Amino acid sequence: MNESSTVDARGLSCPQPVVETKKAMNVYGRGKIEVLVDTVTSRENVSRLARKQGWEVSSEELPDGGFKVTITKA
């Protein structure tokens, strides 16, 4: 089963974006999770967590500011 979820961590200060991402990773275990953050630091911290847990990571800057970090695991 391929799960997909979005974590909106915009406006949250560290370490909350990482905590919320970790919760979603634990719930779904695999699939695709899109994490919305509004700082470079949050983007880097979420990306680092996902890579350490064996997830593939890509990110893009959003037109309205902030970033979308997409993490996937088969």
Q: Which SS3 state, helix, strand or coil, does residue 29 take?
A: coil
Structural domains in the chain, sorted by start: 4-73 (3.30.110.40)
Count of beta carbons in the 10 Å neighbourhood of residue 18: 19
Per-residue pLDDT for 10 more than 50? yes
Cα 25 to chain center, whole Å?
Answer: 9
Phi-psi region of 59 (alpha: psi -120 to 50; beta: other; left: phi over 0): beta
Count of beta carbons in the 10 Å neighbourhood of residue 4: 11
What's the per-residue H, E or C state across 35-66?
EEECCHHHHHHHHHHHHHCCCEEEEEECCCCC
pLDDT tens profile 21-68: 999 999 999 999 999 999 999 999 999 999 999 999 999 999 999 999
